Amino acid sequence: MKTPTTKTAKTVKKTMEASIYDMKGAQVGSATLSDKAFGQAWNADLVHQVMLSMMSTARQPIAHTKTRGEVRGGGKKPWRQKGTGRARHGSTRSPLWVGGGVAHGPRNDKNYDRKINKTMKAKAFLVALSKKWKDGEVLFVDSLSFKTPKTAEARASLVALAKTKGFERLATKPKNAAFIALAKKDANVEKSFRNIGSVVVDETRNMNLLDLLRHTFIVIENPVESVKVIENKI
C-alpha cells in the first residue's frame, strides 16, 4: 500500500502593475506595487472607527455659552423667601431667568479628542488606499514640476491627465476632485494648483485617511519614492 504524499502549498505572491503617466497624459512606464500598500483587504469597521476618531480630534468648537457662575448680576436675592406668593428664587443668574446662565449649553472648552492607536491609524490608511486602487481611482504621474507658479499650466495638466480612462472627471468635478501627493515639497506646484478649488496638493508623507475619503481621485507623483513613504507608514 502506497503512503499518501502531502503536497506543500506554495504561496504565490501577486504582483500588481500600475501604469505611469507624464504631465501630458502619455504613458511613460509602469511600476510594480506591493501588497503591503495596495493589496490590503477591505475593513469597513476599522476605517469607520479611525475616521470618526480623526474627525472628532480635529473638531474645533466655536459655540460657547456662559453658565450661571459666569453671567453678571444675581448677587442679591430677588425677593424674600416667603410671604410674597411668588415662587422662591435665590439668584437672577439662574437658567430660569432672562439673562441668566445657560444650562447644558455648548462650550468651546470641551475636549473632543479621541485616542486611536498609531498601528490602527496606519492600517486604516492602507486599507482605504487599497480600496481606492482596486476601484481605479489612483493615478501615478512620473513628475509634476513648473518653472514658475502658473495656474494655467496646472489646469492644462489636469485636462491632459483626465484623458486617461477612468479619470475623465479629474478636471471637471467641481469639488474634492483630487488629492495630489508629492514625493517632496514643491512650492511652485503647490502655488500652481492653489487657485483650483477642487484639488488639494500636499506631500505624500502628510496624506492621511481623511484625504483619501474626501477626494475622488488620488494622484501620486514620483511613485518610486512616494510608494516607499507609504509603505513606511506601518
Domain ranges across the chain: 16-59+115-231, 61-111
Position 15 scores a pLDDT of 60
Q: Return left, alpha or beta for 147; rule: phi > 0 is left, psi -120 to 50 is alpha, else beta.
A: alpha
The Cα 112–Cα 56 span in angstroms is: 6
Position 75 scores a pLDDT of 85
Position 82 scores a pLDDT of 95
Q: What is the pTM of this model?
A: 0.82
Position 105 scores a pLDDT of 95
Q: What is the mean pLDDT of each run of 10 residues along the chain (234 residues)?
A: 46 69 92 91 97 95 95 91 95 94 95 94 96 96 94 96 94 95 95 95 96 97 93 83
The Cα 9–Cα 11 span in angstroms is: 6
The Cα 22–Cα 33 span in angstroms is: 18
Position 73 scores a pLDDT of 87
Q: What's the grid cell of residue 153?
A: 499650466
Type and span of the H or E element at 220: strand 217-221
In our burial notation (b when 16+ CB lie closer than 10 A, e otherwise), range 146-179 reads: beebeeebbbebbebbbebeebeebbebeebbbb
Q: Provide the 3-class DSSP secondary structure of residue 57.
A: helix
Give, in order, the Cα–Cα distances in Å from 222 to each of 21, 172, 185.
10, 24, 12
The 10 Å Cβ neighbour count of residue 222 is 20
Fold of 16-59+115-231: Ribosomal Protein L4; Chain: A; (3.40.1370)
Short-list 60, 94, 65, CA closest to 77: 94
